[in-house]
Chains A and B, each alone.
Chain A
Amino acid sequence: MSALVKIQRDFCQFIRGHSHRDFYQHIKNSNIPKEDSLSIYLQGIFSTHTEALKNNYPLVFSLLDDRAACEIAHAYIEVNFPCTGDLKEWGGAFPCFIQHYEQQSEWPYLAEVAQYERAKYVALYGSEGSLFTGDKENFLSSIDHKEQTFQFQEACQLIAFLYPLEQIISSIEYNQKSVVPKTQGSSYALIFKLHGKVIVCWLTPSMFVFMNRLKEGQGMDVAFAAAEVLEPLFDIEKAFSFMLSYPLLRIAEK
């Protein structure tokens, strides 16, 4: 093994907490203890990655005090050592990690806030694609069969939350964390991209179900039936008018 490979592998082992003795042997002796030199690099790595998580999940970290923020970031880094130089991409497993992280019980919806923030990132870097540009007013009448399916923009996501995320996000953004309800109460988000910006809309349960069935590739009739169960007077024209106003979808090619 070349000397350079050995040095770099031993350093990586040290950083990952597996062993520091192997790397020590490479360091030139000086008046300064080797641990002090290495601690600067270690601090730098944790600082860089903690900062990356804070940038990717600002709402999550605004709920945590400094100590809790450091602890959760360090715990995540230790089990998700980066395999990418794109630090935005590296944080993708963080929502799932929070869900299983024992120390986050003070904020029971923390994982969902992280999921929301991750969804926004995915939307931002997804493709808007080319969508419907036809006659929006007569769209429904132009559809020739009720089993018609549709294609949504790649960046579009529909997420059901167990907690009232709209109120939670609003409270956090207006710096009113103390009034945030900690009890469950479903909420439904539509997250998509328009002209390079991320848009979030909060949906009724019926609208969510309708859109979700369409997005899954099910026909218009199946989606409508599912929505009607939750809202007997579900207005399909209004639903399409909403979706086409951005637009979010187009008729799927056969």
Chain B
Amino acid sequence: MTFPGFSPRQASTGIGLQKAHYKDFLKERQPVAWLEIQAEDFLNFETEEFQFLERIREDYPMSLHVTNLSLGSSDGIDEEHIKRVKALIDRLNPFLISSHLSWGRIDGYYLNGLFPIPYTQETLELLVSTVNRVQEIFESPLLIENPPTYLQYKISNMEEVDFLGTLVHRTGSGILLNINNVYVSCHNHGWDVEAYLKGVPKGKVKEIHISGHRIQGPFLVSDHESDISNEVWNIYQKAIHLFGPVPTLIKRKTTVPDLKFLLAEAQKAQNILNQIRTPSNTTRKERHVRFG
């Protein structure tokens, strides 16, 4: 399977589309290249909100993030849920589709969270099978996001980054690298950030998320409402130099700030992307992307 959409030279930044900002996007063109939507918010097409979404889609490419795929569930996938997501994919034609390296469903119960999986051969084989099946139904490659984790399992015998790399190689899927989650997990488990980044297979990172976290006791906790820390911005800069320009999302979900704030963050990320466009394969016009 091949990845459609942006080529590395066209890599640019996006923000999550929030209900509070629909009117702004419908009123006039906003200075952002693309938008992310959460699939589970739009599975019903007969609502005014979906009509807004389709109108906004006419002006902005969209990336689709699926929260409840539960790729790592030993129950296997919920085909009913996935088919509903597929219907949404057919309507919106997103340029990227992503989900998480985690699980959230067992024995019919939905825990509606992103829980850690043990990194073992057993889990790897399950995930290879699941991801292949999801990609088959979606008729599109999937990006798999590294999770924030707050515990490790005794039986894990692979590093998370190696597990993820092997998974994407075997399935032809890609990586959504969440820089904040790298920072959070490395802090929580004593892993080395540089080693983690170097372990990510080059060429497989197709999207990057940048988000916030809070301090809670000995932990950093990823929360989608805190501001992006300087440490995460620094790691992002290193990641772009390692992986090249990649579509980058400013992830903010829970407490939705002013649109101007989000757009400013997106521009900050875009400025970093612009820094590493090499003169040999860009025109003067392409070198500095700025919106608005």
Q: Which residues of A pack against B, CB within 8 Å?
A: 2-5, 7-9, 11-12, 15-16, 25-32, 34, 36-38, 40-41, 44-45, 48-49, 51-52, 81-87, 90, 124-125, 127-128, 193, 195-197
Contact = CB atoms under 8 A, between A and B. Distances in A.
22 contacts: A3-B122, A4-B120, A4-B122, A8-B73, A26-B154, A26-B155, A28-B154, A34-B151, A41-B113, A45-B113, A48-B113, A49-B112, A82-B109, A83-B110, A85-B40, A85-B67, A86-B43, A87-B40, A125-B46, A195-B48, A196-B47, A197-B48
A38 B151 CA distance: 8
Contact of A30 (B67, B78, B152, B254): B152
Given A27-B153, A27-B154, A12 B44 contact: no
Contacts of A9: 106-107
Interface stretch (B23-31, B172-180, B211-219, B243-251): B211-219
Given A4-B126, A7-B118, A128-B46, A37 B110 contact: no
Given A48-B112, A82-B110, A87-B112, 20 more contacts: A3-B120, A4-B117, A4-B126, A5-B74, A12-B107, A15-B111, A28-B151, A28-B152, A28-B156, A29-B154, A34-B151, A37-B151, A40-B219, A41-B150, A45-B113, A81-B109, A85-B78, A86-B40, A127-B46, A197-B48
Interface of B: 40, 43-44, 46-51, 67-68, 70, 72-74, 78, 81, 103-113, 115, 117-118, 120, 122-123, 126, 150-156, 188-189, 216-219, 221, 254
Contacts of A197: 48
Contacts of B68: 85
Contact of B218 (A5, A36, A51, A84): A36
Contacts of B217: 36
Nearest to B45: A196
Nearest to A125: B44
A67 to B, nearest CB: 20
A84 B122 contact: no
Contacts of B108: 83
Nearest to A32: B218
Contacts of A81: 109
B43 to A, nearest CB: 7
A7 B117 CA distance: 9
Contacts of A32: 188, 218-219
Nearest to B117: A4
A3 B155 contact: yes
Contacts of A2: 74, 122
Contacts of B122: 2-4
A249 B40 CA distance: 31
Looking at A7, A12, A34, A51, the one whose CB has the most chain B CB atoms below 10 A away is A7
Nearest to B189: A30
A83 B109 CA distance: 5
A5 B72 CA distance: 10
